[in-house]
Amino acid sequence: MSIDALKSRLPEYAKDLKLNLGSVLNTSSLSPSQAWGTAVAAAFASRNAEVTKAIVADAKQHLDDATLTAAKAAGAIMGMNNIYYRFVHLAGNKEYSKMPARLRMNIIANPGAPKVDFELWSLAASAVNGCGMCIDAHEHEVIQKGASKENVQDVVRIASVIHAVASVLDAEDALAG
């Protein structure tokens, strides 16, 4: 499975997604490893097996094993953190924000890839998962670590296209029965 195979599975009404999937990974503001790591983290967050397999298969051509593992780890840890911190942020009872999370997050301190890259990938997963508190935290971190607003926008563009592709394929599979 490859990204080209994903594009061929998209119906005509999703032509814009097909075109965007072909272009968003060729961004000028991100390095290839930042772009492909973003795609991997977004695919993990999007929770579609076909999309995840295709993205990871193509990402292996651009990422070494340690970087691929770090991108997967960003998707994994944000799967937990985005739920927890979205709850803390949205709960009417603000006492939860004063309580320690008591969740292990060791990967954040030592991700096995450049810290700014891991934060970009965490931002992508947080955007897919809709955690405003995490989006703010990761956007702040990447800007402090030297990333540009264009980098942030490109990460979110990649994440949005991958999530949309996953949603369309899930919907088409549901309709096909």
Nearest CA among 70, 64, 55 for reference residue 118 = 70
Mark whether 131 is an active-site residue: yes
Active site residue 134: yes
Q: Which 8-state DSSP code applies to residue 96?
A: G
Q: Which of 142, 170, 172, 168 is nearest to 156 (CA)?
A: 142
Q: Provide the CA 148 distance to its chain's centre, in angstroms.
A: 18
Q: What angle do CA 153, 157, 161 make, to 5 degrees?
A: 170
Which residue among the candidates 42, 125, 133, 134 is catalytic per the annotation? Answer: 134
Question: How far apart, in whole angstroms, are the C-alpha atoms of residue 25 and residue 12?
Answer: 21
Q: How far, rounded to the nearest angstrom, does the alpha carbon of residue 125 sit from its chain's CA centroid?
A: 3
Q: Which of 21, 71, 120, 131 is catalytic?
A: 131
* Count of Cβ atoms closer than 10 Å to residue 133 Cβ: 18
Distance between CA atoms of residues 127 and 125, nearest Å: 5
The DSSP symbol for 28 reads S
Active site residues: 131, 134
